[in-house]
Amino acid sequence: MQPVSGISTAAAISGGSETFCALLVSGEVKCWGYNGMGAFGNGTTTSSYIPQSVTGISTAVAIETGWHHSCALLKSGAARCWGGNGSGQLGDNSTTQRLTPVSVTGIP
């Protein structure tokens, strides 16, 4: 088994469709793999073998990665999601792809 470069303090890990994300003990989230729909949440669609930090997430307590999208539950109870959104899976009352985290409507 090989360690994931840049991940040494993971509290949780989630794998979706070709994308993996790790929740770090610090509350940050890092993602790697396929990013064609923005599932890294770092403002790009560039895929990477090296974990990339999710923009603006520093107090996550849980993560989940789905079909080209990811979500984080924050310490405050708020939820943020990013990536592909063709079926409205980001919960922001749209079907617009999001390259950085957006708030889930109805969860402050």
SS (H, E, C) the chain: CCCCCCCCCEEEEEECCCEEEEEECCCCEEEEECCCCCCCCCCCCCCEEEEEECCCCCCEEEEEECCCEEEEEECCCCEEEEECCCCCCCCCCCCCCEEEEEECCCCC
Ranges of the chain with pLDDT below 50:
none
Over the stretch 31-61, which tens digit does the pLDDT of each residue have? 999 999 999 999 999 999 999 999 999 999 9
Q: Half-sphere exposure of 27 toward its Cβ, with a 13 Å CA cutoff?
A: 9
pLDDT for the residue 1: 60
Domain ranges of the chain: 10-103
Overall pTM surpassing 0.95 (yes/no): no
Tokens (6 digits) for 25: 């003990």
